[in-house]
């Protein structure tokens, strides 16, 4: 395992967008993340630059030696270009704040802040952020509804890392974290849901209210601080203190998410059976725009691809698979689009190339009547 000069296969499908998995028609991906801090160092927001560098060096050494995956790539982000940092953020291997070097920094931070990320390849299921809001943010992402599978892999990785480091831990409060809402287990369970039927039937606000009543957070495609793109929503727990990891996971996986999943499926079935003509017209128009537009913004492409994906999972669209539709949502993002084209593009050029990509990728897509 070599952390020098890493490079991912950015043209390949990342784990959380490969399609399939349990309840994969509604649940695109499951993610589990834990926040950890090291004894002997201030929290990241209070660290001097020398402290951050020392934390980075210590964590890099331990993560590369811990045997977390068949192969680990380590990116020292302060020495990684803006373009590649954007690629990592679009693949959700780092947060957008971590890409900029501003996570948890009261002083504002910047791209030269000592920080890094380790990525398990080739699956990209595992990533370990160093000096984000906490010294360590360990996450595992899986396709479909797979919180238990993700948790088991993360728990093993967490144990392996802790085997060579000492975490800040209180017998009374649990793991100590930079944000009080993470104190305790330090764990966040989240799922990425595709809810186009609930949005089309005007039911999304009900889901938001219900989630709030259950102390759950509802966020957009790129997590905290982002808006919903293409009817994709992340739902996660907000409680980390007073409940065990298994209790939090059980509530989400067996008591909360099944209701949301069945609600979306019921609304999809209602659309297919009672408003089939209107639904196929909407999906057909989306395919038509994607196949013939000359200019396209990222928000528009995400919304249109949402309709294509709805058509695929309901059996109304032929000529494109669920995994291909998912992957196009990644390729339409600015950094991946430029990587696909092979050069840096202006915003206007991206609109042209995005439309070209969609025309080519969906040339064989058709919606049944």
Nearest to 175 by CA among 45, 36, 43: 36
Confidence band of 3 (pLDDT split at 50, 70, 90): very low
If you write DSSP's letter for every residue of 276-334 in order, what string do you get? HHHHHHHHHHHHHHHHH-S---HHHHHHHHHHHHHHHHTT-EESS-HHHHHHHHHHTSH
pLDDT at 76: 96
The residue among 261, 209, 230 whose CA lies nearest residue 27 is 261
> What's the rounded mean pLDDT across residues 48-65?
97
Q: What is the dihedral of CA 108, 114, 120, 126, to 10 degrees?
A: -40
Q: Tell me, what's the pLDDT at 237?
A: 83
CB 6 within 8 A of CB 74: yes
Calpha distance 7→9 (Å, rounded): 7
The residue-averaged pLDDT of 201-211 equals 87
Q: Is the pLDDT of residue 2 over 90?
A: no
Buried b (16+ CB within 10 A) or exposed e, 285-307: ebbebbbebeebebebbbbbbbb
**Distance, CA of 293 to CA of 163 (rounded, Å):** 54
Cis status of the peptide bond prior to 102, with omega within 30 of 0? no
What is the average per-residue pLDDT within 217-230?
66
**Residues 162-184: what's their mean pLDDT?**
93
Determine the CATH number of domain 15-194.
Answer: 3.30.590.10
Asked whether residue 103 carries a pLDDT value surpassing 80, the answer given is: no
Mind listing the pLDDT tens digit for each residue in 226-259? Answer: 556 779 999 988 776 677 888 888 888 888 899 9
Taking each helix axis as running N to C, give the angle between helix 298-313 and helix 322-331, from 0 to 180 degrees, rounded to the nearest 10: 170
CA atoms of 298 and 304, how far apart (whole Å): 10
Which phi and psi (to 5°) does residue 248 adopt?
-60, -45
Binned at pLDDT 50, 70 and 90, residue 222 comes out as low
In this prediction, residue 154 carries a pLDDT of 97
Q: Would you say 194 and 26 are in contact if contact means Cβ atoms under 8 Å apart?
A: yes
Kindly state the average pLDDT of the residues 210-220. Answer: 79
- Top-ranked range on mean pLDDT: pick from 10-19, 127-136, 212-221, 223-232: 127-136
Predicted TM-score (pTM) of this structure: 0.90
pLDDT beyond 90 at 369? no
Percent of the chain with pLDDT over 70: 93
In whole numbers, what is the pLDDT of the chain averaged over residues? Answer: 91
Q: How far apart are CA 336 and CA 205, in angstroms?
A: 32
What's the CA gap between 8 and 362, in Å, rounded?
26
Does residue 65 or residue 253 have the better pLDDT? 65
Residue-wise pLDDT for 105-141, tens only, equals 555 678 899 999 999 999 999 999 999 999 999 999 9
pLDDT higher than threshold 50 for residue 307: yes
| DSSP line for 146-168 | -HHHHHHHHHHHHHHHHTTS-B-
Residue span(s) of the chain under CATH 3.30.590.10 come to: 15-194
């Amino acid at each position: 395992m070599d952390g020098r000069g890493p490079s991912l296969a950015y043209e390949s499908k990342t784990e959380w967008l490969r399609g399939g998995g349990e309840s994969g028609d509604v649940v695109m991906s499951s993610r589990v993340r834990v926040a950890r801090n090291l004894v002997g160092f201030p929290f990241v927001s209070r660290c001097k630059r020398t402290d951050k560098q020392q934390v980075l060096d210590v964590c890099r050494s331990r993560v590369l030696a811990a045997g977390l995956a068949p192969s680990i790539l380590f990116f020292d982000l302060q020495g990684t270009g803006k373009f590649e940092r954007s690629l990592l953020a679009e693949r959700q291997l780092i947060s957008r704040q971590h890409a900029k070097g501003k996570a948890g920094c009261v002083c504002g931070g910047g791209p030269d802040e000592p920080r890094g990320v380790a990525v398990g390849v080739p699956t990209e299921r595992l990533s370990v952020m160093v000096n984000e809001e906490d010294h360590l943010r360990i996450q595992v992402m899986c396709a479909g509804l797979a919180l238990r599978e993700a948790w088991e892999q993360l728990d093993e990785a967490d144990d392996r890392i802790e085997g060579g480091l000492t975490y800040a831990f209180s017998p009374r409060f649990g793991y100590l974290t930079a944000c009080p809402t993470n104190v305790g287990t330090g764990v966040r369970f989240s799922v990425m849901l595709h809810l186009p039927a609930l949005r089309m039937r005007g039911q999304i606000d009900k889901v938001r209210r219900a989630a709030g009543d259950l102390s759950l957070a509802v966020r957009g495609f790129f997590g905290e601080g982002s808006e919903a793109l293409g009817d994709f929503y992340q739902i996660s727990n907000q409680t980390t203190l007073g409940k065990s990891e298994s209790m939090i996971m059980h509530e989400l996986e067996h008591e909360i998410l099944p209701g949301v999943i069945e609600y979306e499926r019921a609304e999809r079935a209602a659309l297919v059976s009672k408003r089939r003509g209107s639904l196929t017209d909407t999906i057909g128009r989306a395919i038509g725009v994607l196949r013939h537009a000359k200019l396209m913004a990222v928000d528009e492409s995400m919304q249109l691809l949402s309709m294509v994906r709805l058509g695929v999972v309901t059996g109304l669209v032929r000529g494109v698979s669920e995994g291909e539709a998912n992957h196009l949502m990644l390729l339409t993002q600015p950094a991946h689009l430029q990587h696909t084209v092979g050069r840096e593009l202006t915003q206007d050029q991206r609109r042209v190339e995005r439309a070209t990509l969609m025309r080519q990728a969906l040339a064989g897509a058709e919606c049944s009547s």
